Amino acid sequence: MDLKLAGHTAVVTGGGSGIGLAAAEAFAAEGCGVALWDVSPTVTEVAADLARRFNVPATGVRVDVTDFEAVRSAAGQLSAVDHVVHCAAVGSGKFGFPFTNLSPADWPRSLEINVMGMVNVAHAFAPAMAAAGRGTFVFLASVAGQIGSQTDPPYSAAKAANINFAQCMAKDLAPHGVRVNTVCPGMVQTPLNRSVWQAWHDQQPEAERLTYEEWAGRKVKTIVPLGRWQSPADIADTIVFLSSERAAQVTGQTINVDGGFVMHW
């Protein structure tokens, strides 16, 4: 299916690795130029590699999404942006069960990056897109933002805020021809997922501990109807589709790519 993205430009925050990088690769495979934003010092090299592999314009810039002036400055260096994908995020590093295991001091960093980072990106790009009368935003949230996950309460709360604000944006920007959607990954093997396992592992009697592979395998088969992990590429495919004209009538939606983990009825 031709997604008609060739010649477009997409900005991907958190594009230096993980789902953000997978999204950038998926855009590049469609002939779309990409601008990768990340705090990683290797983002420039990652972008150069994308340019070589896919023969598209690709740039990498170190940007801290919590710094609005830096975000606005980086946005101002781009001549035209058709699509914005916001993947930059962080967990609190602290785990609930119950939330009182945390303290209020454990919350600000996660909220600043996950919520205000989204706000900064929205304010940096929305006015120009509205003036142009076109463009798309896709925000990466999580099923944790829909089910009240106790795993990482600050992260879960922030992801719920992402979903809600994306809907607010979609309503505001629809009259200007700009679409806004959210994608929620389910069970993806990431450093955060491994941290959850480590927290569980360290609390178990030694005789009952499982390796990460054993724990993860049992967990995904127990809670995911399709019985398998999602990959960064699975998430990226949905992000790119929602950014394309094939999804021209889709806005304000929260799309779960989770193997059926979260079902609403």
For the stretch 105-125, pLDDT in tens is 999 999 999 999 999 999 999
- CB neighbours of residue 214 within 10 Å: 11
- What pLDDT, on the 0 to 100 scale, is given for residue 197? 79
Q: Mean pLDDT over residues 227-250, rounded? A: 96
What is the model's pTM? Answer: 0.93
Check whether residue 41 and residue 90 sit in a common domain. yes
Check whether residue 241 and residue 222 sit in a common domain. no
For residue 155, indicate whether it is catalytic: yes
Q: Mean pLDDT over residues 150-161, rounded? A: 94
Give the C-alpha separation, 196 to 159, whole Å.
17
Asked, for residue 265, whether it belongs to a domain, the answer is no
- What pLDDT, on the 0 to 100 scale, is given for residue 21? 97
**Considering only 95-99, 191-195, 197-201, which range has the smallest mean pLDDT?**
191-195
Asked, for residue 112, whether it belongs to a domain, the answer is yes
Phi, psi of 159 (to 5 degrees): -70, -30
Residue 153 has pLDDT above 90, yes or no: yes
Q: How many residues does the chain have?
A: 265
Residue 190 has pLDDT above 90, yes or no: no
Q: Mean pLDDT over residues 36-40, rounded? A: 97
Q: Mean pLDDT over residues 119-143, rounded? A: 98
Q: Mean pLDDT over residues 2-15, rounded? A: 96
Taking all residues of the chain, what is their mean pLDDT, rounded to a whole number?
Answer: 94
Give the C-alpha separation, 189 to 75, whole Å.
31
Check whether residue 251 and residue 134 sit in a common domain. yes
Check whether residue 197 and residue 249 sit in a common domain. no
Check whether residue 214 and residue 133 sit in a common domain. no
Peptide bond into 154 cis (omega under 30): no
For residue 212, indicate whether it is catalytic: no
**Annotated active-site residue in 94, 159, 212, 219:** 159
Task: Indicate the number of domains in the chain.
Answer: 2
**Annotated active-site residue in 155, 171, 212, 221:** 155
Q: Helix axis angle, 18-29 relative to 232-243, nearest 10°? A: 50
Give the C-alpha separation, 92 to 85, whole Å.
22
Residue 265 has pLDDT above 70, yes or no: no
